[in-house]
Structure 1
Amino acid sequence: MFTSAVGSALAKRLVENPPEERPPAIFVFLPIVNLVIFLPVFLILLYSLEQVYPTLAAVEDPLPAYEALPLNDDGTPKSDNTPVLTAEPGRPITASLRATNRLLRSLNGWLSNFRGLGYATLIAILTIITTLFLSLLPFVPGPVADLIALIAFSPLSTTWTHLVITRPTSKSFFQRIPPLKKVYLATWLPTLLVWVAVNATIFFPFLLARTIGLDLIDPENPDQGLSQLPRGSDAGKATAVLGLSLALQVLFYIPAHTALRRVQASLLPPDEDTLVPFDRSFAGLVEPEVVSGKGFATFGAALKTVTRASWARIYMLRVKVFAVAIAGYAAIVAAVVVEFLIVLMIRGQ
């Protein structure tokens, strides 16, 4: 009796309030599939190519050419009038994205492209939290708070650089942190100059846009985003702003970032080997600490020891990374569009 009464009540309720139609299973699994597929792609584009590869390129020094000693068949040196052959240095590893990828994969497979990712995320979180906390103080402007946080966590940033440019070791990340006093003495100026370069690439293009009257945001309705598409003179103004931003990155940010990574690499302990060739003496400009030296490179020494060919390689790497990023984002957008069309077809059936 009770069972039949309950059953009748439930049946009546279902008739009066039918359940909502469940969406097709594809709508449930599609976001999960996208996350699984696209997350590694985003990590490669935003972390491996933007952080790891440029760090290796900044540290790598070209192998010097050397004069081969001419010998006779019996092993004795030949006479002085015998032509001497000069050995040519090999092509730098970071001159090729494929060669750099092969180098990393030789360590621990394809996952080596993400080496240091966890610690980079930790450093970013700590920096953001510290910046937000300091920004709450009435006498600390936001950009200054960011600078203080960057300098405060420079030992962790330096250790991340060491992790990226060296082979795997049994030491933990925090066991590899160099002496704090030496880190702060070596990195405060390069960190400051990177901070200046980053803010300059934001402030001056924004100032130029305001000066030439490039304002695509409707001030009366800022939440609506772009009030109109750029046309005519606006397109020219936008090109000028983008050109200024690119020029500042090329002239200031990339050199400052390169110098910072090289200064951080100079703090590497002598018992650890780098993945790429690296002149720890900086062409004789840096003496070991045991020989009355500082034990690290200065900002000037870091820049001065980058050859013209190395600058060309570093900038070309950035161009290649940009091209790969554009292709990667275009492929993601194309995949999403195809998925959207498939969903429309399913819903139309």
Structure 2
Amino acid sequence: MTVLVELARRAVSHPQTSSFVKRAINGNGGRTPDYMDKVSIWSVVAIYATIFIAAIGISLFSYMLNQVVVTLCMVESPVAAITVTHETSNDKEDSNEKETLLEAGPTITLVNAKPITASIRATVRHLVAHAGRWSRFRGFKIHCFYSFLSGLATTFFSGALQGMPGSAVVGAAISAALLANVHAAWTHKVVAMPTDGLFWGRIPSKAHWKTLAVPAALKAVMPYVSMYLTAGVFMLLKLNKLGYEGHSIETCADKIGLIARVLAVIVFAITCTLFLCLPAMVTLVRIEASLLPEDQDTIVPFDRTFGGKVVSKIMGGTGVVGFLDAWRSFNWEARRRLIKLFTKNFFITIGMFVFVLHVVAIEAFVFMGEAAVLAMAGIPYLIITEQL
């Protein structure tokens, strides 16, 4: 973050900055309207700086919500708390019959504790209390490194397989499978308590690659499958033919039918996400979590036995959960909690974008005055003149 701030400071202080922004504004072959000449260069710089800072902030906040908190929710296994209630003296005096020693003993009650990840605020507080204030973004460097490698690998394989049907899907699957151990290292960084170990020490051994490759490939493929299925329903309902002869929307019945078809596509897309993408994500993360070394504790409660389906290496088992058991051990209560979390994250992200949009609009009206209104009104003019 310090590097970005320093680069931004040097860029703004550079003597050629004002002329560069001026060319960006007054380009377009000299056809830019005259009112843009009245706009202060530094007003535009301030607006662009706001957008730049907001983009960084939204990216970090989105990473915290959609990567860190979501991953912890997939791993957490709520623990049961045992409460012991002793009988009061008044209860003993009111008793007319002689009680046995067992009956007179304390009452033991088993209470299911509320999951930490049931609340975003509680999850963040838990992270800060156990791993410091920067734990909100734990694993961010590894995530950037993995995203960079994944982008390179996907681009390479998609280009190498160009012309082959489904080359993008195959390229994504191969890339995810090859980088499965790196993704597992990121998961371990997110779910484990802070340690002094290096990044390379977190990467699982090559022996575990076979365990991780298939779930990683499926997780990468499922979004494409969901998209293709949704596109198929889109075409099946003839939404791709709107505007063509015989498919115009004229009557009220046509409009109602169009709304119904659009809603059907949206519902189908959500269904694919819930029953295809979500299980693939949860399965991969839980298999990766099962590979966490037994000498490392998790930052949230985690059942390493997965409901008795996994036997630790100390007891002579493999210590790794199976592909199907990883999803089956994620009970319905946890699934509902995860879906609620995704819903909250979606609306929070939309709210952040709306807030930033309003801030930028206010800055535009404060710094640019009438030019902001004229610029917005002049957008269609610029589009038309570009086509001439």
Same fold (TM over 0.5): yes
Aligned match of 2:47:
30
User: In the alignment, is the contact (CA less than 8 A) between 1:187 and 1:264 conserved in 2?
Assistant: yes
User: Which among 125, 129, 141 is matched to residue 152 of structure 2?
Assistant: 129
Name the residue aligned to 1:335: 359
**1:185 and 2:201 are equivalent in the alignment:** no
1:55 and 1:270 map into 2 onto residues whose CA distance is 19
> What is the distance in 2 between the residues matched to 1:31 and 1:348?
14
Q: Which runs of 4+ in 1 moved over 6 A?
A: 69-73, 216-219
Q: Any gaps of 5 or more consecutive residues in structure 1?
A: 1-19, 220-229
Q: Give the one of 184, 196, 210 matched to 2:235.
A: 210
Partner of 2:65: 49
Task: Give the drift of 1:348.
Answer: 7.9
2:76 pairs with one of 47, 51, 60: 60
Deviation at 1:217, TM superposition (A): 8.8
Corresponding residue of 2:182: 156
Within-5 A mapping of 1:1-349 = 23-45=40-62, 47-64=63-80, 66=82, 79-82=101-104, 84-107=107-130, 109-138=132-161, 141-182=167-208, 184-215=209-240, 232-345=256-369, 347=371
**Secondary structure class of the residue paired with 1:215:** helix
Kept in 2, the 8 Å contact 1:282–1:305? The answer is: yes
3-state SS of 1:169 partner:
coil
Q: 2:296 aligns to what SS in structure 1?
A: coil
State the Cα distance separating 1:270 from its structure 2 match.
0.9
What residue in structure 1 maps to residue 4 of structure 2? none
2:177–2:214: 8 Å Cα contact kept in structure 1?
no
TM-score by length of 1: 0.80
Counterpart contact for 2:178–2:213, Cα < 8 Å: no
Deviation, 1:22, is: 8.3
Alpha-carbon contact 1:186-1:297 (below 8 Å) kept: no
1:71 CA drift (Å): 9.7
Deviates more, 1:135-144 or 1:52-61: 135-144
Cα RMSD of the aligned pairs, angstroms, is 2.9
Q: Deviation at 1:38?
A: 4.0
Q: Secondary structure at the match of 1:289?
A: coil
What is the one-letter code of the residue matched to 1:319?
A: T
Supply the distance in 1 between the matched residues of 2:363 and 2:38 (Cα, whole angstroms): 22
Whichever residue aligns with residue 170 of structure 1, its letter is: D
Please list the CA deviations of residues 123-179 of structure 1 after superposition, one character each: whole Å capped at 9, or x if unmatched: 111111111111222476221111010011010100100000112211111111111
| Aligned-pair CA distance for 1:64 | 2.9
Taking only the aligned residue pairs, the percentage that are identical comes to 26
Q: For 1:242 and 1:309, how far apart are their aligned partners in 2?
A: 25
Please give the alpha-carbon distance, in whole angstroms, between the structure 2 residues aligned to 1:173 and 1:69. Answer: 47
